Structure 1
Amino acid sequence: MNVTLRQLHVFQSVAATRNFSRTGDAVGLTQPAVSRCITELEAQLGLQLFNRTTREVTLTDAGQRLAARLPRVLEELDNTLLDVQEMATARRGRVRVASSPTLSANLMPDCIAHCQATYPGLELLMLDRIQSAVLASVLSGEVDFGVVIDPSDREALHCETILTEPFCLACPPTHRLARKRNVRWADLQGEPLVLLDHDSGSRRLIDRALADHGVAGPVAHEVGHPTTIFRMLDAGLGISVIPTLALPPDGLAHLAVRPLLPRVDRDIVLAHRRHRALSPLAQTAWELVRGVAAQRLIKP
């Protein structure tokens, strides 16, 4: 049946007033429009709801049954619509966010702290995973969205870049390159490199930058986390190319860090499934992460 809310509200008013003209005044319709609504409703139901004469309007048995039950139905519908509408301003609940390791360590803690201070009812739950697992959890719907390094395949994702940062050189302070203020990619030629492994979203970008600048330095060690890189450089096992965001806030006391020229950047990206809108609560968390990242902008 193609019954409209307007027809039901008009019926309810006529049942109460027993007058088409007074109903028209109450609901903002002309008397013919009220009559048409009732006629269309009766046609959909296949029943006459009112007995009409020139002197009075009375409910039929079918009309009495509908009039008795309709107020509860309309009230429940109104409550349901109000409940759904409140989602637009909801600030209470849990949002699941997956992020890759360097971002989990160096961006997300600030986001979680800011969320607790700004939206106490919003629980930002972080899943710390390698990049491929982050993307898989986004596509499966396990999490609301992910925070990743520029993904190579965006076909199934809606992505927004929230931060762009350069790669830099880290090396022991006694290394020859530590004496330079700026280091060129070509200067890395022949040096043993300690790099993030291929589970990192950055490794693809680092390999491409090395190839673009003709660097054929051997990859001496591949590890899963920047902290391991720093310990290996402390031990004199090579030099490294790392993203700036991977540096501790207080810097590296026992290592030298130098810009790499020409500058090569990586993008930090928020990603959710394409054609799947975020819930209002997840959208609030998305905007919060974007705002915290904007405060971490890396200067050229």
Structure 2
Amino acid sequence: MLARDQTTRLTVGAPPTACAHLIVPLIAEFEKANPRVHVHVVDTDLGNIDRLVQAGSIDIGLGMFVRPTGSIRTSLFKFTLVLASAAPRFQIGRTPKRWADLVDAPLIGLPADYPFQQIVAGHLAEAGRSQGPRDLVNFIDTQISMAAAGRGVAIIPTTAINSCRNWPVKLEPIVDPTVEMDYFELRDKARVLPPCADAFTSFLRESVPRLLAPFKTPRRASAS
């Protein structure tokens, strides 16, 4: 906990799905433990975050960044990928899917310039898929809602698990290989942030893996 007499404001930027279903609930918990800190949230497209960090508009950027142009990138935690499909209610499947199982699947994907989608496309190509997604949408929440409606299946990050709890979808780990990705924080290398910045990112580093625990060690798919 930070010193009781310290009052400060920390501005954090993240993509909309992460803000609504991952970051904001944890901010509430962090502020309860640190009542002298106010964390202001900026929900914005992933592509804007590095620019906002460098402009000083936000203190910390959060997301799946590949190559920030002028910021310091530090891994906060790792996440994996799951397949979302329609189900009677939200559930976590225990039998993994293989990338090879998805070669002909009716995929709902994100635009090709999204770093996350590029990694997904690479693994699908290695498995033998030659075509892109059947449907393209701009947001992970839309992927989830379309999967819930039976419009196809979606490969999504486990960081979206809280969003999925609102929908009748089944989440199944994807293996062979299991893909671990980093969720990063960005900071401007020229700025010195208040101590609450380190306290907040340490809190995320400790708290988020607990939320992702159901997908910590997915089993290998059985041979068919």
User: Is the structural similarity TM-score above 0.5?
Assistant: yes
Q: Does the alignment pair 1:206 with 2:97?
A: no
- Structure 2 unmatched runs, 5+: 218-224
1:274 to 184, 189, 211: 189
Superposition pairs of residues 238-257 of structure 1, within 5 angstroms: 238-248=152-162, 251=165, 254-257=168-171
- Name the counterpart of 2:144: 230
Q: Does the alignment pair 1:98 with 2:13?
A: yes
Contact 2:76 2:201 in 1 (8 A): no
User: Which portions of structure 1, spanning 4 or more consecutive aligned residues, are displaced by more than 6 angstroms?
Assistant: none
Give the secondary-structure state (helix, strand or coil) at the position aligned to 1:264: coil
Question: Which structure has more RCO (C-alpha within 8 Å, separation ≥ 6)?
Answer: 2
Going from structure 1 to structure 2, the CA distance change for 1:217 and 1:136 (only over 3 Å counts) comes to same
CA distance, structure 2, for counterparts of residue 283 and residue 293 of structure 1: 15
Q: How far does residue 102 in structure 1 lie from its aligned partner after superposition? A: 2.8
Q: How far does residue 194 in structure 1 lie from its aligned partner after superposition? A: 0.4
TM-score (norm 2): 0.80
How many residue pairs get aligned? The number is 209
User: Structure 1: which amino acid aligns with 2:81?
Assistant: F
Give the secondary-structure state (helix, strand or coil) at the position aligned to 2:129: coil
Q: Which has the larger radius of gyration?
A: 1
Going from structure 1 to structure 2, the CA distance change for 1:163 and 1:180 (only over 3 Å counts) comes to closer
- Name the counterpart of 1:130: 45
1:163 to 77, 88, 92: 77
Q: Does the alignment pair 1:197 with 2:114?
A: no
CA distance, structure 2, for counterparts of residue 267 and residue 202 of structure 1: 10
RMSD: 2.8
CA distance, structure 1, for counterparts of residue 113 and residue 18 of structure 2: 14
Larger proportion of helix = 1
User: Structure 1: which amino acid aligns with 2:39?
Assistant: L
Identity %: 24
1:120 to 35, 38, 47: 35
Q: How far does residue 112 in structure 1 lie from its aligned partner after superposition? A: 1.3
User: Structure 2: which amino acid aligns with 1:207?
Assistant: A
- Structure 1 unmatched runs, 5+: 1-87
Q: Deviations over 1:208-264 (max 9, x none)?
A: 222233322441222222332222223332111111121237746632221111211
Give the secondary-structure state (helix, strand or coil) at the position aligned to 1:107: helix
TM-score (norm 1): 0.61
